Structure 1
Amino acid sequence: MLTRYLLREILSNLLWVLSLGLLLLYLARMADFGPEIFARGGQVADLLRFSGYLLLFLLPFALPLAGLAGVLLAFIRLAHDREILALASLGISPLRLTRAVALTAAGLFALALLLTLLLVPQAKRRMRDTLWQLAVKRLERGLPEKTPVDWFPGTLLYARRVKEGFRLKDVYILREGPGGKKGFLYARRGRLTLFPGGAELLLEKGEGHFFSSDLQRVENLYFESYRYRFPLSPPEERELKRGEMGLFELLSRARSSKLPPHKRRKYLAEFYQRFFYPLAALVLPFLGLPLGLSLKASGRAPALILGLLLHLFYYLLFSLGSTLAEEGKLAPPLALGLAPALFLALGLVLWRFSLRREGL
Structure 2
Amino acid sequence: MRLLHRYLAKEILLPFAAGLLFLTQILLATQLLAQADVLFGSGVSLVDVGAVVLYLLPYFLGYVLPIAFLLGAVLGVGRLAEDREVVALGAAGFSPAFLVPVPLAIGVAVAGLGLWLSLDVVPRSLDAARLRLNEIVKRNVMNDVRPGTFYDQIPGYTLYAERVHGGRWGNVLISDRSDPAAPVLALARAGGLEPVGAGEEMRLVLDDGEVHREQVDADEYVLATFRRADVVLGLGTALSDRNAVSRTGRDDLAGLQARVAEARAKGDAAAARRAEGSLHRRIASPLAVIPFALLAVPLGASRRAGRAFGVGATFLVVVAHYLLLRSGEVMAQRGVLPAPLALQLPTLVLSAIALALIALQVRRGTGAVR
| Residues 27-66 of structure 1 mapped to structure 2, 5 A cutoff | 27-39=29-41, 41-66=43-68
Counterpart position of 1:21: 23
Query: Which residue, 231, 248, 255 being the options, matches 1:249?
Result: 255
Q: How many residues align?
A: 318
**Contact 2:260/2:275 (CA < 8 Å) preserved in 1?**
yes
CA displacement 1:1-43 (0-9 Å, x = unmatched): 1111111111111111111111112122222123322236221
More off after superposition, 12-21 vs 285-294:
285-294
Counterpart position of 1:275: 283
**Contact 1:251/1:271 (CA < 8 Å) preserved in 2?**
yes
Counterpart position of 1:308: 315
Seq. identity, %: 26
Cα distance in 2 for partners of 1:104, 1:31 equals: 34
Aligned-pair RMSD on alpha carbons? 3.9
Q: CA deviation at 1:72?
A: 0.6
Counterpart position of 2:116: 114
Cα distance in 1 for partners of 2:65, 2:301 equals: 22
TM-score (norm 1): 0.74
Query: Which residue, 287, 298, 312 being the options, matches 1:290?
Result: 298
Look up the equivalent residue of 1:230 and give its one-letter code: G
Indicate yes or no: 2:353 matched with 1:346. Answer: yes
Distance 1:267 1:204, change over 3 A: farther
Distance 1:295 1:143, change over 3 A: farther
Query: Which residue, 117, 131, 134 being the options, matches 1:132?
Result: 134
Q: CA deviation at 1:56?
A: 1.2
After the TM superposition, which segments of 4 or more aligned residues of structure 1 sit over 4 Å from their partners? 144-149, 157-173, 187-197
Query: Which residue, 67, 74, 77 being the options, matches 2:69?
Result: 67
Query: Which residue, 243, 264, 268 being the options, matches 2:272?
Result: 264
SS at match of 1:277: helix
Q: CA deviation at 1:247?
A: 1.5
Q: Which runs of 5+ in 1 are unaligned?
A: 174-183, 206-223, 233-239
Q: Which runs of 5+ in 2 are unaligned?
A: 205-210, 214-220, 223-230, 237-245
CA displacement 1:84-124 (0-9 Å, x = unmatched): 11101111233221121111111111110111111011111
Question: Which structure has the larger Rg over C-alpha atoms?
Answer: 2
Counterpart position of 1:336: 343
**Contact 2:259/2:272 (CA < 8 Å) preserved in 1?**
yes
Q: CA deviation at 1:60?
A: 1.2
Cα distance in 2 for partners of 1:190, 1:290 equals: 73
Look up the equivalent residue of 2:340 and give its one-letter code: P
Distance 1:305 1:169, change over 3 A: farther
Q: CA deviation at 1:322?
A: 2.3
Indicate yes or no: 2:79 matched with 1:77. Answer: yes
**Contact 1:40/1:134 (CA < 8 Å) preserved in 2?**
no
**Contact 1:243/1:270 (CA < 8 Å) preserved in 2?**
no
Q: CA deviation at 1:65?
A: 0.8
